[in-house]
Structure 1
Amino acid sequence: MTRGRGTRRPAATNQLRIIGGDWRGRRLRFPDAEGLRPTGDRVRETLFNWLQGRVYGRRCLDVFAGSGALGFEAASRGAAQVVMVEAAPRVAEALRANAALLGATAVQVEAQRAEAFLQTAPQAFDLIFLDPPFGKALLEPTLCALAAGGWCAPDARLYLECEATLGDPTLPRGYSCVKRGRAGQTAYFLVARDAVPAA
């Protein structure tokens, strides 16, 4: 998800297009919520090119799901499980409706704040999307909570998205940035959990 800085888009533009996988070309609507828009097609295409071979059969977590662009893209490409976390009730309901429309049985929607979700019993995910609302300083604290809380599988990949003006995020110990890009005022990163040396 990407939330802009207080802008509203007309309802007619509140849709996203899945760009790959089983549902390629399908269009989904999302609510006319303030500042909510999907991660753009070009950025998603770049991200999933980076993730070649790391989506099918994997467990995915979309922490600030918003429109669901990233989570639905992963489900379309064969992810075994996609958990979407979204605090806004109307937006969460739209995620459930779109999952039903697609027949996306791998998608599970958790209608709660990210902080509350990350205080529940952890599950280890292979792929985590972390694209919090802009201007809220949520990226690094949430990243630290994921790393410290047992949410990242040993070979996990994490996608981070934030304002380009913030520069590279500070990563927890044991995590490294392997790819980075920029689209307009948005910066995005692919982060890997470092391999643990054999004993």
Structure 2
Amino acid sequence: MRIIAGANRGLKLVDVGGGDIEARLRPTSDRVRESLFNVLNGGAFERPIENANVLDLFAGTGALGLEALSRGARFASFVDNGRVSQKLLRENIRLARRQDQTRVLKCEASSLPEAQEPCSLVFLDPPYGQDLGGAALVSAAAKGWLAEDALIVWEESKPVLAPNGFQRIDTRKYGGTHITFLRYGG
């Protein structure tokens, strides 16, 4: 696993092998991450990564948020309550030298604290098939984490339905991974 592009291009992140089933770690592959960021940078969406405030829910290793920082995001908040995830996440932030641009929250994604600042770009990569994403988005909205018109990138094993207050705008399939793009509000 590595950072694909930007200031940290080529940086090798901490290896978790095929993932950690017990810790619910299933890292987004380099290929899927590259395709996802090509879509984000391709002009299909109005919210560029550049200067974005990013929320990475179910962050795991932090690869999605760190990729966004490498490509010009201003700040990233990572949320994961797993012991293994926290260790990997902190090590990857250290490797990328992004301590000053990150905050790590150890809590359930559906029980977020109040936000200090809303985020315009949200990565949501819950454990597949456990129906955790919708509750996390509702919590993020209620606690002020989502800027009006925020772009949500939801990775799941199947296309997802948009919760109330969100609009589905696109879905892409990469092997067994479905990426659903949502817009908050409006």
C-alpha deviation, 1:77, in angstroms: 0.9
Match of 2:20 among 33, 40, 62: 33
1:194 deviation in Å?
4.4
Who is 2:44 aligned against?
Answer: none
1:54 shift after superposition = 1.2
Q: Percent identity?
A: 35
Match of 1:168 in 2: 160
Question: Which residues in structure 2 correspond to 1:107-126 (within 5 Å)?
Answer: 107-116=102-111, 118=112, 120-122=113-115, 123-126=117-120
- Aligned counterpart, 1:4: none
Structure-2 separation of matches of 1:111 and 1:101: 20
Q: Deviations over 1:23-47 (max 9, x none)?
A: 1111111446325232122321222
Q: Secondary structure at the match of 2:6?
A: coil
Mapped contact 1:147–1:172 kept (Cα < 8 A):
no
Secondary structure, aligned partner of 1:169:
coil
Count matched residues. 175
State the AA in 1 paired with 2:12: R
**Where do 1:33-72 residues align within 5 Å?**
33-34=20-21, 35-52=24-41, 54-72=48-66
RMSD across aligned positions (CA):
1.9
Tell whether the 8 Å contact from 1:79 to 1:106 is kept in structure 2 after alignment: no
Q: Distance in 1 between matches of 2:178 and 2:5?
A: 22
Larger Rg: 1
Match 1:184 to one of 161, 165, 175 = 175
Instruction: Give 2:164's aligned amino acid.
Output: P
Equivalent pair of 2:110/2:140 in contact (CA under 8 Å): no
**For residue 173 of structure 2, what is the amino acid of its counterpart?**
R
* Alignment gaps of 5+ in structure 2: 42-46
TM-score, normalisation: structure 1: 0.79
1:100 corresponds to which of 94, 104, 107: 94
Residues 1:189 and 1:90: Cα distance change in structure 2 (over 3 Å): same
Please identify, of 36-45 and 17-26, the stretch whose mean Cα deviation from structure 2 is larger: 36-45
Secondary structure (helix, strand or coil) at the match of 1:128 reads strand
Q: Determine whether 1:136 maps to 2:126.
A: no
Partner of 1:33: helix, strand, or coil? coil
Q: Which amino acid aligns with 2:180?
A: F
The answer on whether the counterparts of 2:58 and 2:109 sit within 8 Å (CA) in structure 1 is yes
Inter-partner Cα distance in structure 2 for 1:24 and 1:92 = 23
Give the TM-score, by structure 2 length: 0.84
Amino acid in the other structure paired with 1:39: T
Tell me by how many angstroms 1:112 deviates: 2.3
Report the CA distance between 1:155 and its aligned residue: 2.6
Q: Alpha-carbon deviation of 1:150?
A: 2.4
2:110 and 2:138 in contact (8 A); partners too: no
Unmatched 5+ residue regions in structure 1?
1-15
